[in-house]
């Protein structure tokens, strides 16, 4: 069984990544106790009490460890990933995997030079409803796809956020951070590795520290499809989940909508899909849709089968997110 260590326990996503890998058959043999957020470290130890604390250098130098899970402060992830790859380890990293173009170049170079795996646990790969929607789109039921609209609201939970969360240099900006999910999603549905940026806007509209990017809109174009993507940190406290994530796909023969987090009609849980074609309207509960990301990653660790490569789309999504971030028009906060 593949053996891994959790390094950089700075974001709560480390819980989901670790749990997904354990369920897929991997063994977590240690966690690095160095963390910028003691609450994340305490949460990891509560969830995985059998995983011992081991110093980072020992984990990286241990030849029996096959890969690391990396959820450090975003600006530190690329450097740690490169170091791990040069120590002979594969890497699964929380998004965003990089925060600057130079970091992306360094990671790509390390992958090319070492032959190690660098995989970002993107929402498309870990969402049952998105995987089900991709299957419908690629089946031809919707005809030729012409438009995608993605809504990705998030709850700020300001009191729970560490100081680095509000530093743009630390997370790379809102489009590079949570927007990476939506950009990768558009590329997957359009079945392309790049897109034209028709428009990009970033806003600082809320009451968080000055300069915190809490809103963004992006319009992308491929040769045959358009994409409109909205991101924000304005989910109200009254909503029963951290956000009402939605996806709309329009084809020449049908339409599709996802309610990723909740159904306002009252159906329990998330991963709700609604499809309309020439014959009918149908609802599908996608919660049980099989997710293969963690298993595919472990299989790649074992046999180097290239399942994580996806024809380079991962790095293309990172590159496009960085380009959108840099090109965006910015609304400054309104001063009262």
CATH of residue 106's domain is 3.40.50.720
Q: 287: domain CATH number?
A: 3.30.360.10
Tell whether pTM > 0.85: yes
What residues contact residue 334 under an 8 Å CB cut-off, 6+ apart?
205
* One domain, residues 86 and 212: no
pLDDT of amino acid 45: 98
pLDDT of amino acid 290: 94
pLDDT of amino acid 311: 66
Domain that residue 216 falls in: 124-291+324-330
Q: Give a yes or no: residue 315 inside a domain.
A: no
Q: Give a yes or no: residue 303 inside a domain.
A: no
CB 294 within 8 A of CB 20: yes
Model confidence band, residue 299 (pLDDT cutoffs 50, 70, 90): very high
Q: Give a yes or no: residue 194 inside a domain.
A: yes
Would you say residue 86 has pLDDT above 70?
yes
pLDDT of amino acid 11: 95
* One domain, residues 155 and 254: yes
Of 121, 143, 162, the residue at which a domain comes to its end is 121
* One domain, residues 218 and 103: no
Each residue's pLDDT tens digit, 27-84? 999 999 999 999 999 999 999 999 999 999 999 999 999 999 999 999 999 999 999 9
* One domain, residues 83 and 189: no
Would you say residue 310 has pLDDT above 90?
no
pLDDT of amino acid 332: 72
Q: Give a yes or no: residue 157 inside a domain.
A: yes
Q: Give a yes or no: residue 304 inside a domain.
A: no
* One domain, residues 72 and 158: no
Would you say residue 5 has pLDDT above 60?
yes
Indicate the SS3 state at residue 236.
coil
In the chain, alpha helices (H) = 13-24, 38-47, 56-61, 74-86, 101-114, 123-126, 128-139, 168-171, 179-190, 293-303, 313-327
Of 121, 137, 169, the residue at which a domain comes to its end is 121
Would you say residue 157 has pLDDT above 70?
yes
Report the chain's C-alpha Rg in angstroms: 20
CB 132 within 8 A of CB 289: yes
* Chain mean position to CA 317: 11
Half-sphere exposure of 186 (CA within 13 A, CB side): 33
CB 257 within 8 A of CB 274: yes
pLDDT of amino acid 262: 77
* One domain, residues 220 and 245: yes
* Mean pLDDT along residues 178-206: 96
Q: What is the DSSP letter of 304?
A: -
* Mean pLDDT along residues 179-200: 97
Q: Give a yes or no: residue 336 inside a domain.
A: no
* One domain, residues 68 and 136: no
CB 92 within 8 A of CB 297: yes
Q: In what order do the strands lie in the sheet with 272-276?
A: 281-285, 272-276, 255-259, 246-251, 145-153, 226-232, 215-221, 196-203, 329-331
Model confidence band, residue 333 (pLDDT cutoffs 50, 70, 90): low
Number of domains in the chain: 2
Each residue's pLDDT tens digit, 188-197? 999 999 999 9
* Mean pLDDT along residues 108-119: 97
* One domain, residues 92 and 223: no
Q: Give a yes or no: residue 216 inside a domain.
A: yes
* One domain, residues 262 and 187: yes
pLDDT of amino acid 308: 84
Q: Give a yes or no: residue 309 inside a domain.
A: no
* One domain, residues 155 and 198: yes
Model confidence band, residue 293 (pLDDT cutoffs 50, 70, 90): very high
- Which range (1-5, 67-71, 134-138, 209-213) has the least confidence? 209-213
Of 121, 137, 172, the residue at which a domain comes to its end is 121
* One domain, residues 131 and 105: no
Would you say residue 26 has pLDDT above 70?
yes
* One domain, residues 250 and 269: yes
């Amino acid at each position: 069984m593949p053996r891994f260590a959790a390094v950089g326990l700075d974001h709560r996503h480390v819980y989901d990544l670790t749990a997904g890998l354990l369920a897929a058959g991997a063994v977590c043999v240690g966690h690095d106790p160095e963390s910028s957020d003691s609450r994340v470290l305490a949460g990891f130890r509560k969830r995985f009490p059998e995983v011992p604390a081991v110093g980072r250098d020992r984990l990286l130098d241990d030849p029996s460890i096959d890969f690391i899970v990396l959820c450090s402060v975003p600006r530190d992830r690329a450097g740690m990933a490169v170091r791990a790859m040069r120590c002979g380890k594969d890497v699964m990293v929380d998004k965003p995997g990089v925060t600057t173009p130079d970091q992306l170049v360094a990671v790509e170079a390390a992958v090319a030079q070492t032959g190690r795996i660098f995989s970002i646990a993107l929402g498309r790969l870990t969402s049952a409803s998105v995987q089900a929607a991709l299957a419908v789109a690629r089946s031809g039921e919707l005809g030729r796809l012409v438009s995608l609209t993605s809504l990705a609201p998030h709850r700020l939970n300001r009191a729970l956020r560490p100081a680095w969360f509000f530093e743009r240099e630390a997370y790379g900006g809102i489009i590079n951070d949570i927007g990476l999910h939506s950009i990768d999603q558009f590329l997957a549905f359009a079945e392309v590795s790049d897109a034209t940026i028709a428009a990009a806007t970033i806003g600082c509209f809320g009451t968080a520290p000055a300069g915190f990017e809490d809103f963004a809109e992006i319009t992308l174009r491929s040769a045959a499809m358009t994409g409109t993507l909205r991101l924000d940190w304005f989910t109200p406290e009254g909503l029963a989940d951290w956000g009402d994530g939605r996806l709309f796909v329009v084809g020449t023969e049908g339409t599709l909508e996802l309610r990723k987090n909740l159904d306002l009609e009252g159906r329990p849980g998330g991963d709700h899909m609604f499809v309309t074609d020439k014959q009918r309207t149908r609802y599908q509960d996608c919660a049980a849709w099989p997710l293969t990301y963690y298993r595919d990653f472990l299989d790649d660790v074992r046999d180097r089968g290239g399942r994580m490569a996806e024809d380079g789309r991962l790095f293309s999504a990172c590159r496009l997110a960085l380009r959108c971030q840099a090109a965006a028009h910015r609304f400054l906060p309104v001063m009262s």
